A and B are shown apart, each in its own frame.
Chain A
Amino acid sequence: MFTFLLKALWRKLWTLFFVSIVSFAVIHLAPGSPSQIDPMNPRFTKEQLERYRAAFDLDKPLYIQYTLFYQRLFTGQLRSFKDNQPVLGKILERAWNSLPLFLVETILIWCYAFPLGIAAAIKRNSLFDKVTTVLVFALISIPGFYLAYLGIIFVVENFHVDVIGLRTFGREGVGGFYQLMDRTWHLVLLSVLGATAGIAVLSRYVRSQMLEVIGSDYVRTARSKGVAEDAVLYHHALRNGLLPFVTMLGLLIPGLIGGAVILETIFAWPGIGRLGYEAILSRDYPVVIALNFIAAVLTLIGTLVSDLLYMLVDPRIRL
């Protein structure tokens, strides 16, 4: 148990090291050195070049640039190009706004994906299975931004509420209850939209996993022994069918953050997705690198936790 934990940690640390290199290298990947000013390129002004030099120490060798960059990031000295604020502080502030969103989305995904997938697998080829299959595929296939606009039109025209931003502008003075309702309305549409893709993908996985388990030998044995159908499904099949989903806990994180870039931009929600989009637009490289890095670290922590959970629930796994 303890050696497994150490091994997993060791592996994650190595991954983390390479993640930090990739996040850093992505910006240096543009052809030519970033300090070469192309006179035709309006994106690089002289002033920007100076900032770039100061932030990345371009005159030093690459590995020193790399160490200095992460040293500054962790000691909080790294500053944004745009407003000269510390990068970590900016990200934390925005992450605080994204947190309720991610929590609600995760809860929605888990609450809907499992029942949908299990029901579709048990009633394979029924009308319910066919309808959910098509619906789920439609939700996987619909572009998130398109669904967002359809959602906005629907909610605005039917319920006459404002859904853009954190709260309705200029409604600060009203009572606590109205304020709460206002915040909830702003949160609901965005998190439902953010969760749809996750619900669709996860419920498909649950369905095919359940189908595989239901078709396996030990389920057939249980049935032929005369175990009641409900007991077979919920006691024998479900327990084993759900095992792999413990591992999907960590892999949900990149999807949520990636999806947040588009949705938070459309809804003007001041979270980390929108921060990332703004930073890319304004070429605020310290923020962009730090965001890529932090998102990857969060995913690594998530997968580490799910590895451990997997080991706890499945006695066969001793990696």
Chain B
Amino acid sequence: MTTNTQALSPSRLAWQSFLKNRTAVVGMAAVMGFFAVALTGLLLTKGEHPILNPREVRLPDKLKPPISTPNREAVPAASLPRLGVYVLGTDELGRDVFARMLEGGFVSLSVGFVAVGIAVAIGLLLGGIAGYYGRSRVGVWRLRLLTVDTVITGLIDVMLSFPSFFLILTVVAVLKPSIWNIMIVIGLTSWEGTARFVRAEILSLREQEFIQAAQAVGVPGYRVILRHLIPNSIAPVLVSATLGIAGAILTESSLSFLGFGVPPPDATWGNILSDGKRYIFDAPWLTLIPGTAVLIVVLAFNLFGEGLREAFNPKLRQG
């Protein structure tokens, strides 16, 4: 047995340690469940005649509590909910909250992934350059006063000094409200952590023998970065990306809540809650359902990411 454990690769070891952490495994399962729900939600609510229509207005059935039957006399037969009941109730226009939540699930998922994708791409690029080419000097004409590293860490310092939520709010308010702008702005303001990780990781990796060997046989710099350095420093990046998705979903819902998010009639969890807060005492489900959904999804990503972090960090690994 002992020979067997010695032969395990670091990533195998990390994975085994991850599986021992029960909360992290629950988090991972919930993340997968969320994927499934968001993708089915997309299939069920998109298109000309969706199976569950999130935009169907039924004024006779407004503000119905969860699991209530529709008013068959007042609502036309074509508008009745497919499931026979309003599973999660209806909002102030009689729209089916279940269908709206499904539609919003995919919005949250895509905002999380696209925003973090942008952030990770920028972080890898700038962190990689700062780590590998950090000592070379740049400047205007002959005045080569600054090193690449100074420039990039300086940029990170500048971005870190802004209160990012307020900066995002400012930019989103200046631009046209659209889901793409929100993804891009969140991505452009949340790459600093990744860049720092990658830079620190590459600074220590570049002194190791396998990199020197690659350089000795004449592998060009970009190839050393892309093929040797980044794959070896990807673990902390993945961890921070998982946590970043949680943050991006939270930021999007906060923006929607303040009215700067995805414009109506598209439903997101943030704007369902924002519209529902006026009825908080009469129709508390309009606040409780989206709020709890955001909480569960963000919690799942956070637990999953934290489990990965502990598993990949030998100093924190459980004995």
Contacts and interface: CB of A to CB of B under 8 A. Distances in A.
A212 B316 contact: yes
A306 to B, nearest CB: 13
Contacts, number: 141
A268 interface: no
Interface residues of A, number: 59
B257 A254 contact: no
A141 to B, nearest CB: 4
Nearest to B318: A125
Interface string A81-120: 0000000000000000000000000000000000000000
A262 interface: yes
A18 B166 contact: no
B214 to A, nearest CB: 31
Contacts of A299: 160-163
Contacts of B258: 261-262, 265, 277
Given A145-B273, A146-B273, A137 B254 contact: no
A280 B162 contact: no
Interface string A127-149: 00010011001101111111001
B165 interface: yes
A126 to B, nearest CB: 13
A305 to B, nearest CB: 14
- Report whether over half of chain B's contact residues are helix, strand or loop; otherwise say mixed: helix
Given A141-B302, A143-B257, A15 B166 contact: no
Contact of A254 (B164, B253, B306, B315): B164
Given A15-B157, A143-B253, A295 B302 contact: no
B8 to A, nearest CB: 21
Nearest to A291: B166
Contacts of B170: 26-27, 280, 288, 292
A292 B167 CA distance: 7
Given A145-B254, A149-B291, A296-B161, A137 B302 contact: yes
Contacts of B194: none
B303 A259 contact: no
Given A141-B299, A295-B163, A295-B166, A18 B158 contact: yes
Interface of A: 11, 14-15, 18-19, 22-23, 26-27, 29-31, 125, 130, 133-134, 137-138, 140-146, 149-150, 153, 204, 208, 211-212, 215-216, 251, 253-255, 257-259, 261-262, 265, 273, 276-277, 280-281, 283, 288, 291-292, 295-297, 299-300, 303
23 contacts: A11-B157, A15-B161, A18-B158, A22-B162, A26-B167, A27-B174, A31-B175, A134-B23, A138-B299, A140-B298, A141-B294, A143-B253, A149-B277, A212-B315, A254-B163, A261-B169, A262-B257, A262-B258, A280-B169, A283-B173, A292-B170, A299-B160, A299-B162
Given A23-B162, A140-B302, A208-B316, 12 more contacts: A137-B299, A141-B295, A143-B295, A146-B287, A149-B287, A262-B258, A273-B166, A277-B258, A280-B169, A280-B170, A283-B173, A292-B163
Chain A to chain B: the 4 pairs with minimum beta-carbon distance, closest first? A258-B165, A146-B291, A141-B298, A254-B163
